[in-house]
Structure formats: structure tokens, C-alpha cells
Amino acid sequence: MCTICGCGTVTAEQREDHPHHHPHDHGEHGHHDHWHGEDGSITFGAGAAGVHLPGMNEERVIRFERDILSKNDAYAQANRARLLAAGQFALNLVSSPGSGKTSLLVRAITDLEARFAIAVIEGDQQTSNDADRIRATGVPAIQINTGKGCHLDAHMVGHALDQLPLQPGGLLFIENVGNLVCPAAFDLGEAHKVVVLSVTEGEDKPLKYPDMFAQADLMLLNKADLLPHVDFDVGACIGYARRVNPQINILTLSARTGEGMSAFYGWIDVRVRNATQDVTYVAG
């Protein structure tokens, strides 16, 4: 059961007896419409909206300052606390469609699964193709289908966490919906956002989509094996990314050949170690 909204869920690899639907009006916390499918997938954004509340006739003006995404942020903080307590290091992978996120994950899982317990949350509008590819490597994966939605949000991820076996010291990869705009606005509770850009795209994408590159702590420049065949200026791309985000770390690699992947694993190792030390320090 989801500890945040109390919604019942299914396990990662097992089916529940029947698919079920949560309507929009879900008590006090603004629950999304979603369906738990027979294959363990969770589908959002396919239902009708709303309740109407009886009113009063007195006119008045209420003034306040409230972040419109405060509910998502609250779910994200709950996810973050839960991941920390479970000893999980979570990365939120964002990119445009086709940058090679899933291939990069498959390679990373193959190389890292001897050292880490790995779990994956896959976000796409439709199909469980990506989760199927991840499961073929032997690690648990939950597919979230966002339906109309163009991004994952923290509430969806909270439900996926219910279904994943999270082992202490584990790595959780969240592969967001392929989209360089919308996922930038939604904190999922991850430790870091990692933006993947491939050399078959334009090198000025950091300038065209600055929100995403401004939010990411790491940029992976993927498909480096294709550099001899494309007009992609690596130096210019790195310069654009640093203009938007002077602190961003940048690694050039190829998920296909494995070139540069060890630097990505080193980046993960350092941050996992730091996160563990932080927990020890807090506990001590």
C-alpha cells in the first residue's frame, strides 16, 4: 500500500487479481486518476475530472503565496525521505526521445549489477517496451504509462516505489518520458537529474532548452562513436551547457561501444559514497 495516499498497489513482478481504477476525487490530497493494470503497469491521465462543492454566496478575496506545484514538491520530498531511509541512490534520467537513455541503462546495469542492487522505473506515454528491455537484463523494472502526460511526476513515482524491491545500498534509475521541456518542472525526489544528449542532435540544445540543462547535475553526451560521421561540435555543446549551468558535470561516452562509461560509473561511485557518509553522519 502507498504510505502517502493509501492507495493499494501491486508488486513488481506479480499480478494483482484485477485491474482497478482510482477516481480523481481521492480525499484531501488531490490524487491523480490512474489505473493499475494486470501487467503491473500504472496508467495515468485517462479519466474524467472533478467534483463540485456546494457554495456560499458571500464574495471575498483571499490572498496568499502558494507554489502551484507544491503538491508535487511534497510528494517529491516524501519520495526523497523514503529513498534515503531505504538506502537508495536515485537518478532521474531526462532527454529528448531517441537519445539512447534505455540503451545506456541496459549497458550500465550489465556493468554495475555485480556491485549494486539495481531497480528501474520507466516512464513513457504508452507501451511497456522499455521496461521489457530492462527486465531482460534481470533487474526489476516498473513501467509507468503517463497516458496524456508528457512527464513523470512525484506521485506516480511514489506508486512505482511501492512495487519495487528496494535493497539498502541500491541504485534506482528513473527513466523519464523523452521530452526536454516538461520533466524539468517536476521534482521526483531523485538525488540528481542526469540529462542525456546524443551527438545526432543539435549541439545548441542546451540553449534551446535551458530549463532542463539548468536543473541537471550531470550531462552525458551519448553516441560518441558516431562523432566521425556527424557535424557535431563537442566543444561548442559543452560551452553552451556551461553557459546555462556553470556547475554542470559533462561526460562524453558511447553506450554502444562502452567508451567513457567508466567515468559515469566513477561519478556514481563518488556520489553514492558521499550520500552514505551523509546518512552515517546524520545517524551518528
Give the footprint of other proteins on this chain (CB under 8 A): 28, 30, 49-72, 148-151, 153, 181-182, 184-186, 207, 210-211, 214, 243-246
Residue 107 has phi, psi (to 5 degrees) of -65, -45
Ramachandran bin of 58, using left for φ above 0, alpha for ψ from -120 to 50, beta for the remaining angles: beta
- Quick one: 40 or 123, whose CB is closer to other proteins? 123
Find the radius of gyration of the CA atoms of the chain. 20
* Nearest-approach distance from CB 143 to other proteins, in angstroms: 19
Distance CA 10, CA 205 (A): 39
- Quick one: 112 or 241, whose CB is closer to other proteins? 241
- Quick one: 45 or 260, whose CB is closer to other proteins? 45
Diameter of the chain measured on Cα atoms: 70
- Quick one: 40 or 149, whose CB is closer to other proteins? 149
* Nearest-approach distance from CB 170 to other proteins, in angstroms: 29
* Nearest-approach distance from CB 197 to other proteins, in angstroms: 16
**Contact assessment for residue 219 and residue 250, using Cβ atoms and an 8 Å cutoff:** yes
* Nearest-approach distance from CB 149 to other proteins, in angstroms: 7
* Nearest-approach distance from CB 153 to other proteins, in angstroms: 7
Complete edge-to-edge strand list for the sheet that includes strand 88-94: 20-22, 34-36, 42-44, 141-145, 118-124, 170-175, 88-94, 192-198, 218-222, 249-252
- Quick one: 21 or 29, whose CB is closer to other proteins? 29
**Contact assessment for residue 44 and residue 155, using Cβ atoms and an 8 Å cutoff:** no
Tell which residue, 59, 77, 58, has the closest CA to residue 69.
Answer: 77
Residue 238 has phi, psi (to 5 degrees) of -65, -40
* Nearest-approach distance from CB 154 to other proteins, in angstroms: 11
- Quick one: 166 or 214, whose CB is closer to other proteins? 214
- Quick one: 107 or 193, whose CB is closer to other proteins? 193
Distance CA 16, CA 7 (A): 14
- Quick one: 100 or 123, whose CB is closer to other proteins? 123
Ramachandran bin of 253, using left for φ above 0, alpha for ψ from -120 to 50, beta for the remaining angles: beta
* Nearest-approach distance from CB 162 to other proteins, in angstroms: 21
Distance CA 214, CA 115 (A): 31
* Nearest-approach distance from CB 1 to other proteins, in angstroms: 22
